[in-house]
Amino acid sequence: MPTLADLRENYSRGGLAESDAVDGPLGLFRRWFDETLAAGLPEPNAMVLATCSPEGVPSARLVLLKALDDRGFTFFTNYDSRKGREIAANPLGALVFPWHALERQVRVEGTIEVVTREESDEYFVKRPLGSRLGAWASPQSEVIPGREFLEKQHADLMAKYPDGDVPRPPNWGGYRLLPRVLEFWQGRPSRLHDRLCFSRQADGSWQRERLSP
């Protein structure tokens, strides 16, 4: 059995040239995302979200990207969760899209804002019934006495909303990360990887730089 030190891959699927990013970082992201869909990767919209407490203690977890436009990257969660509390205290955050099968990674840094009620309502009604009930049943990030607590909460809510008309909880909704930095990483042989970094300038334009791997 190989040791941790022995585990490695020699990446060789492709490269990343400046000419690949002529439509800017969001255009490149959309193209890469479409390629993950075409490749059949499981949950290509899964992203690591990193937040930080007021004391500087970082935390990270996987969430799902649910919308993307020129403003930024949108996800949904419980406002009272650990990440929600940290965002309220410190709105700076970061994302990582780990597309290992394509030997790619995208990092995003920026400021996180709460989306409008209308955006949260519009997405909530599209969720499966179980997910809508789960948003009420789970006091996310809080200590609970056991699994049975969640199951009873869920069963009680099913009885309360037999017609499936579940309203959005007031402490559940969307956030949008407004990007100021996007970095695209493409694995290359001999660890000479390609890294293109885009930084938003004061006038809204993007400065592109190649970083050493």
Using an 8 Å Cβ cutoff, are 73 and 179 in contact? yes
Three-state secondary structure call for residue 175: strand
Which amino acid makes up residue 88? A
Residues in the chain: 213
Which tokens in the block code for residue 212? 């050493």
The active-site residue, picked from 13, 30, 191, 210, is 191
Contact 187, 13 (CB under 8 A): yes
Both tokens assigned to 127: 């969720």
d(CA 37, CA 24): 20
The reply to whether 210 belongs to the active site is no
CA 212/CA 199 separation, integer angstroms: 16
Catalytic residue ranges: 191
